[in-house]
Structure formats: C-alpha cells, structure tokens
Amino acid sequence: MHPTDSHFIPGYQTRSLENAQGVVFLYHKQQIALLSSDPPRLLEVTLWEQLPMQPSDFFYFGEWQGQACFAAHLPHGVELEVEVEWHRVRALYSYQDLFWIAGRGHHLAHWHYTHKFCGR
C-alpha cells in the first residue's frame, strides 16, 4: 500500500462475505472487473451471489472509505453472468487511491488463488 494513502485500512481478521457491505476486487488474467462508469466502479459485495464462486473464494483485506474490501481471483474457464468490463490494474493509475488498493488486492488474490491447496 502506498504510504500516503490514508483512506485504506489493512485488515487481517476473517470477515464473512455474506451480509457484508462493501466492494469486491475481482481479478482474472492480470485484469480487474469494473462496472462501466467514470470514475470506474467496483463490484458491490451484494453481487457475489450472482458470481459462479463460493464465499470461501473471497477474502477480506481491509477497509476503504468505510467499506469492507474483499478480493478474489476468478478461476480459468468460468463465465460471469454479471456485466463487467475487464481492465488492467494499470488503467486505474489516474485514480491513485483505487490504483494502490487494486494493486494490493491483486497481489493478495493471486497468492490466495495459487496457494489454495499447496505452496507453489
């Protein structure tokens, strides 16, 4: 996390995705899922039930502007029913807070996905 970002509070405790308020940082093939708008919008936690994933696929990694932040890596070959646009994290560079948080989430989601069953 960028040292000057005062809006993000890292979190390490377990927090349930179900009944939570916040946003989801969803990654696939080095890209992040965003809803179309300016500035870009993240997926709301309430959409998780529409994703072809289990609650255990998501993990809590902090709070940003009072919202819980969850991250997950979409498995290969899985199709989304939710209408999203896929962007490289670098595309968020002009939105500094979001860029740094998305970068952190991407690293954590990649590690969580690749180390789910064994230490690679």
Instruction: Report yes or no: 45 and 17 within 8 Å, Cβ to Cβ.
Output: yes
The answer to whether position 119 is within a domain reads no
The answer to whether position 1 is within a domain reads no
What's the domain range around 68?
8-114
Q: Residue 83: pLDDT band by 50, 70, 90 thresholds? A: confident
Q: What percent of the chain has pLDDT over 90?
A: 42
The answer to whether position 51 is within a domain reads yes
Looking from the CA of 115 toward its CB, the CA atoms found within 13 Å total 8
Q: Total structural domains in the chain?
A: 1
Q: Residue 6: pLDDT band by 50, 70, 90 thresholds? A: low
What is the C-alpha radius of gyration for the chain, rounded to an integer number of angstroms? 13
Helix (H, G, I), strand (E, B) or coil at 61: strand
Residue 15's pLDDT is what? 82
pLDDT in tens, 41-53: 999 998 888 888 8
Residues found in the chain: 120
Which CATH number is 88's domain given? 3.90.79.20
* Mean pLDDT over each residue of the chain, to the nearest integer: 85
The answer to whether position 3 is within a domain reads no
The answer to whether position 41 is within a domain reads yes
For the whole model, what pTM was predicted? 0.85
